[in-house]
A = this chain, B = another copy of it.
């Protein structure tokens, strides 16, 4: 049975309505068609899924067509699971082409991206068999991902910016993905390398390995904005999110998955998993922002806007806007920080909603780092005469210079 041809846009919409009205139908919160790389030894293992287009809480009409295009080839789509993954075959493509007919001539550039995918697959199918290289995945809930295709779809949602950082459920993703050797962007099973090591090495055909990891690199899947720069592909993991205008320098920098920037940020340090850095901030050379599982007791760290983390500084607490952490120092949850009565008043003024302990008779009031978390306009420094870590009201405005880097 084939999906019928849509005559025009109205007819297409009627078809979508018809599909969506079937019993048990659920609109997928996300879906997409991927080209997959399979295991060399075990082709049942999906090593990588490359999505030309991902949909995240959008394009429910296309989703309906894809579901019906599967059903029309005899596939029973299971709406009761959190996700559904299936092979993309020629008949599926034909069905989708039929349904998309009114849009075929409009699908160019930024318009009708899902239709463009189907058109490209139809074109490919005219000259070669669609082997087991293409997979379609639907997510009906943001539950723990069960398949590599679902993990990749979620990483795409983060890296394309369609889903905000920290909003996607990736629990268990490491258990779902294979650890593989990456050679020119292609994943190779380590066992396959071992099996062929002797012959490949003797023949001079041993592949060049760029990394061994479960995750691919951001730049192997994502095209950044025109004003975004990533000076070394190894520095940004797939699943990171970089706001346009962000620059990732090559020194000690790194952006892990589910971490990144929400504005133009100069990054020369480490943005660990779960960390979010705001517009105009500057992560200095070698600066470290700790992640949920590296010293923050599970509290994700957000850095506000126009905040400067000095070279080789370490931050384990959230910071507000216009803060400065001086070069070389570490401010952690448990760090005792001295604040003079005068500075405390200024800090309180800049943070009217904050409940801050009052100054007594002593010259310095002491806070734990965590008590100052998220405040604006704080300058953390170590007094170089007496070694005390102090917080004062930051005076300096932090500006990124677009010229230098």
**Distance in angstroms between the alpha carbons of A184 and B366 in the assembled complex:** 54
| Chain A residues touching B, majority SS | loop
Confirm or deny: A212 has a beta carbon within 8 angstroms of a beta carbon on chain B. yes
A190 touches B226 (CB 8 A): yes
In the complex, which residues of chain B have a beta carbon less than 8 angstroms from the beta carbon of A226? 179, 190-191
In the complex, which residues of chain B have a beta carbon less than 8 angstroms from the beta carbon of A53? 198
| Segment touching B, from A62-70, A201-209, A352-360 | A201-209
Q: A203's closest neighbor in chain B, by CB?
A: B124
Q: A400's closest neighbor in chain B, by CB?
A: B293
Q: A204's closest neighbor in chain B, by CB?
A: B35
Confirm or deny: A335 has a beta carbon within 8 angstroms of a beta carbon on chain B. yes
**Distance in angstroms between the alpha carbons of A252 and B401 in the assembled complex:** 22
User: Which of B117, B204, B252 makes the CB contact (< 8 A) with A286?
Assistant: B252
Taking the closest CB of chain B, its distance from the CB of A143, in whole angstroms, is: 17
Which size class do A's interface residues fall under? 35 or more
Taking the closest CB of chain B, its distance from the CB of A148, in whole angstroms, is: 16
Taking the closest CB of chain B, its distance from the CB of A113, in whole angstroms, is: 7
B179 touches A227 (CB 8 A): yes
Decide yes or no: A384 and B335 within 8 Å by CB, A52-B202, A254-B251 being known contacts.
Answer: yes
B233 touches A338 (CB 8 A): no
Contact with B along A86-122 (1 / 0, CB 8 A): 0000000000000000000000010001001100110
Confirm or deny: A167 has a beta carbon within 8 angstroms of a beta carbon on chain B. no
Contact with B along A377-405 (1 / 0, CB 8 A): 00000111111110000000000011111
In the complex, which residues of chain B have a beta carbon less than 8 angstroms from the beta carbon of A195? 109
Contact with B along A323-339 (1 / 0, CB 8 A): 00011111010011110
**Distance in angstroms between the alpha carbons of A121 and B204 in the assembled complex:** 12
User: Which of B213, B336, B338 makes the CB contact (< 8 A) with A231?
Assistant: B213
Confirm or deny: A228 has a beta carbon within 8 angstroms of a beta carbon on chain B. yes
Contact with B along A175-191 (1 / 0, CB 8 A): 00001010011000011
| Segment touching B, from A16-24, A39-47, A305-313 | A305-313
User: Which of B120, B212, B230 makes the CB contact (< 8 A) with A230?
Assistant: B212
Taking the closest CB of chain B, its distance from the CB of A178, in whole angstroms, is: 9
Confirm or deny: A193 has a beta carbon within 8 angstroms of a beta carbon on chain B. yes
User: Which of A113, A233, A256 has the most chain B CB within a 10 Å cutoff?
Assistant: A233
In the complex, which residues of chain B have a beta carbon less than 8 angstroms from the beta carbon of A185? 206, 208
B284 touches A288 (CB 8 A): yes
Extra inter-chain contacts (11) besides given A268-B270, A312-B330, A387-B388, CB under 8 Å: A50-B204, A53-B198, A179-B229, A211-B231, A213-B229, A234-B250, A254-B285, A270-B311, A286-B286, A288-B327, A328-B329
Q: 4 closest pairs, A vs B, by CB?
A: A387-B387, A328-B330, A251-B254, A252-B252
* 18 A-B pairs with C-beta separation under 8 A: A50-B201, A179-B229, A181-B223, A197-B223, A209-B233, A211-B219, A211-B230, A212-B228, A231-B234, A268-B270, A286-B312, A290-B311, A291-B404, A294-B404, A295-B327, A328-B330, A366-B385, A384-B387
- What residues of chain A have their CB less than 8 Å away from a CB belonging to chain B? 35, 50-53, 109, 113, 116-117, 120-121, 124, 133-134, 174, 179, 181, 184-185, 190-191, 193-195, 197-199, 201-204, 206, 208-214, 219-220, 223-235, 237, 249-254, 256, 268, 270, 272-273, 282, 284-286, 288, 290-295, 310-314, 316, 326-330, 332, 335-338, 366, 382-389, 401-405
